[in-house]
Chain A
Amino acid sequence: MLKFIIKRVWYSLITLFLIITATFFLIAGAPGDPIAAKVGQMPEKAQEVIRVKYGLDKPVTERYFIYMKNLLTTGDFGESIIYTGQSANDVIKKNAPISAKVGIIALALQITIGVLLGLISALNREKIGDHIIRVWVVIAICVPSFVVAALLQYFIAFKWKLVPVFGWGQLKHYILPVTTYAIGGIASYTKFMRSSTISVMTEDYVLTAKAKGCKKPRVVRKHITRNSMIPIVTMIGPAVAGIFGGSFIIEKMFSIPGLGNYYVKAVSDSDYTMIIGLTIFFAILYTLALILVDILYGIVDPRIRVTES
């Protein structure tokens, strides 16, 4: 297991290096530059003065080496070109936890409620409960999150005044964004859990367990649930990485000061340092999450651990 993890970490480092390099050159090659976004209407001469200040007058390869040197020696993603005086590290430190708070609560709700509903639905297959859940799942998956957000905002906050329309800082501000964020996820987890449970229920070992005289709750708990969780675990990995990024649309609609916002703005402004900093951050999260998934697999299903070693 340890050998396996070391190998995975080593691969991840190589992946990270490739991601940084590719991002750097892709952004450098893309049309538009941050100075144009910042001060595009200025005379060319005046833009040049500012380009020199940020070292953007140097050739791309030279900039790349300077950047990598800084990154490796100081771990600094560099000063944002748009947000003067702030480094990408500061922005991540300040905003990622905010996105994460909403994301973690929403993810926890998604998994628990989704798995429960999926199980209920599968165990009551073709009964009224199953039908209700399935209809709801289809609706929840089809309606885009910004529509859900707009409806919740309009009715719950604006019409009924149960919570504020927007804002950040207090518990009441979490309710609408978390709900919006969770609904779609709950539906997908329900759907996956349902189909996975149904297929597990037909497995031989379930039949064996029943034949041995196992009580139904025990069969469900020990034999069915555990095995049907495998596809869910696969989904959790990327989802964990995703929670830090936040949802741009939801953050925008509820004015949440999360990271999603910065990412989109950084790309549209070609804010090099910010884009690369954020990309590295997400890449690290993603690789970590994938390693985590591999370990979780081993816990949920010992067969996987055996084959790996």
Chain B
Amino acid sequence: MKKIRNVAILIIVLVMCLGTLAGCGKTEDSPVVTGDTNDINKNELQMDKEQVYKYSDNSDITGLNPMANTTGPDNNVQNFIYETLVADVADEEGNGIIKPAAAKDWTISEDGTIYTFNIREDAVWNDGVPVTANDFLFTFRTMATPEVGSTNAWLFDGVILNFGESLYNDGTNPDYNKKPEDIGVKVVDEKTIEFTLVKPYGYFLDLLAGAKPVRQDKYEEFGDNYGSSIDKIVMNGPFLMESWDQNVQITFVKNESHWDAKNMKLEKIERKLIQDPATAVQALISGEIDVVTTNDPNWKELIIEDGRFESMVIPNNAPEFLGFNAKNKYFKNPKIRLAFSLAYDREKYIEDLREGEGEPLYSVMPGVTNVGDKLYSERVNGQNEVLKELMKKYPDPKALLIEGLKEEGLDPDPAKMDISYATRGTTEYSKKSAEWLLQQWQEKLGVEIKIDMIEWNVMWDRVDAGDYDICTAGWGPYYNDPNAILELYEPVNGYFNSTKSGWTGPDAERYAEILEEASNSPDNQKRAELFVEAEKLLVGTGVIAPTYCKTSTVFLAKYVKGYYTNPHSSIDYSLMHISGK
């Protein structure tokens, strides 16, 4: 009897516990907005009273100091609160454009090397102090100071006069003997600033859009702690950061003292932190966030069924490619390299491994790449897709391979080739991808590659040392111009220089010359044509095999209007508003 009583007590206690837990959930009901509770009146283009936009990211920011920002999240968050001279945003067609920001206008000298910016009279910091030319001068001088260790400074090396000479000045190299005061940035008057460039870089404005300002008095006051919390910064952006609850949420509110405040419809932006993609999708459907990016077919189906969301396919700007070590006894022959590149069925790869989502690359440049204010592929009428031409020329890659083997005096039987493929990491995807390659090349070329599963960082060490046969890489360009990708393979200064790529000889020299010529030309049309010539060498001789570019599907709540995006650019929040929630 007592036993039963004990059990009964226990059960009661447990039920009570569960009861309290469940009770908590009900009594403190969350302000969940399901989107279909209000009437949606489509005829009126009227804005809701509540202009709050909520989105999520999967990683917190590392800080608010623009000198030290490194990650995508850092950049996105800082874009709200710091205003650069010019902004790189997506327009209503989704094209990346340069828009006046802290500078109301600018002039470029005829030779394309001197840029003069007029800063707005009504641009102010959030403490009421006007934004001046001095603020930008201080920002660039700070970036050029080696001790600061600014993470984005190197982008201006060789672009702004004397910039790299100051940044890399450690007192030992006579080539780098300048001081931050010597860089080609000059204050003309309080609201006018002038930049002197080494060459007429067509993408200078694009670079400038990333250089977020700091103000001298505050920067010196907070020192190393600048940007470690909200009270240790001074802001001039269209939004102000109201709270930063680490790893939970960042809240921005409209900056009423911003010069463009009257055009900004959003009052508040909440950036939530959700690491798990599945959680983010559930949060979207539950109305806790307004936008989500997912390529998972199951989740996509669920969101589409729900009907309250619009979907958009967003292309990426980072090409994926295979690299063939041109020092290798096989791959020093362009025909052999090219045969491997041509035998790779790009459409099939995307179908087999990426659920059909992606852009096959026949040029190393993703479709969204611009030269100046126009798309690269448009400027050259698609001539940049050099592989398409070559596929017609060599319909049988195996024959091309055997031809190459004979040229090198090697055994012409492809089955006897000894080649290994270094994976980029040991994830399931890397494994599947490698097996797909193995099968593909076995089928089309009769070559059986060896798969070398290696960790991501170890793989980079091996590539650095030139110790590989075939490697795979991807690259997110730092600015919107073909040069951002092509310069990687510049044989001396590029990231994949000839030590890593193994690429030497007349082709490589000619490649360097073309890039040099393009960098000296202020004429964008001419530059685009030169870039095609460069691609004919890099892609056309199979030093690399561009493979694909990712795309992602964005789902957006229908009540969010005016959302335009481009992988190179930021979202223009002044175009956005909430209607019909």
Contact = CB atoms under 8 A, between A and B. Distances in A.
Interface string B16-40: 0000011011101010100000000
Interface stretch (B180-188, B256-264, B278-286): B278-286
B45 interface: no
Nearest to B278: A150
Nearest to B13: A116
Interface stretch (A1-9, A12-20, A170-178): A170-178
A123 B476 CA distance: 64
B149 interface: yes
Contact of A164 (B30, B224, B245, B278): B30
A123 B3 contact: yes
A43 B458 contact: no
A261 interface: yes
B148 interface: yes
A82 interface: yes
Contacts of B146: 49, 52
B448 interface: no
A29 interface: no
Contacts of B170: 52
B428 interface: no
B457 interface: yes
Nearest to A164: B30
Contacts, number: 150
A146 B63 CA distance: 30
Interface in B420-476: 455, 457-458, 460-461, 475-476
B10 A83 contact: no
A49 B274 CA distance: 34
A170 B30 CA distance: 10
B279 A153 contact: yes
A116 B225 CA distance: 51
A83 B24 CA distance: 35
A42 B226 CA distance: 23
Interface residues on B, range: 35 or more
B314 interface: no
A168 B249 CA distance: 9
Interface string B136-174: 000000000011110101100100000000011010000
Contact of B62 (A53, A83, A170): A83
A85 B228 contact: yes
B153 A120 contact: no
Most buried by B among A31, A38, A162, A255: A255
Given A46-B157, A252-B275, A175 B32 contact: no
A168 B273 CA distance: 10
A120 B7 contact: yes
A164 to B, nearest CB: 5
B288 interface: yes
A163 B62 CA distance: 30
A54 B3 CA distance: 66
A181 to B, nearest CB: 14
B149 A161 contact: no
A38 B25 contact: no
A268 B24 CA distance: 37
B299 to A, nearest CB: 12
B62 A84 contact: yes
Contacts of B28: 170-172
Contacts of A167: 30, 248, 272, 288
A26 to B, nearest CB: 16
B540 interface: no
B147 A165 contact: no
B217 interface: no
B276 A252 contact: yes
Interface of A: 31-32, 36, 38-43, 45-46, 49-50, 52-54, 79, 82-86, 94-95, 113, 116, 120, 123-124, 129, 150, 153-154, 157-158, 161-172, 175, 179, 216-217, 252-257, 261
8 contacts: A31-B461, A41-B476, A41-B495, A85-B68, A165-B286, A170-B28, A175-B25, A255-B275
Interface of B: 2-3, 6-7, 10, 14, 21-22, 24-26, 28, 30, 32, 62-63, 65, 68, 70, 146-149, 151, 153-154, 157, 167-168, 170, 224-228, 232, 245-248, 272-276, 278-279, 282-283, 285-286, 288, 455, 457-458, 460-461, 475-476, 493, 495
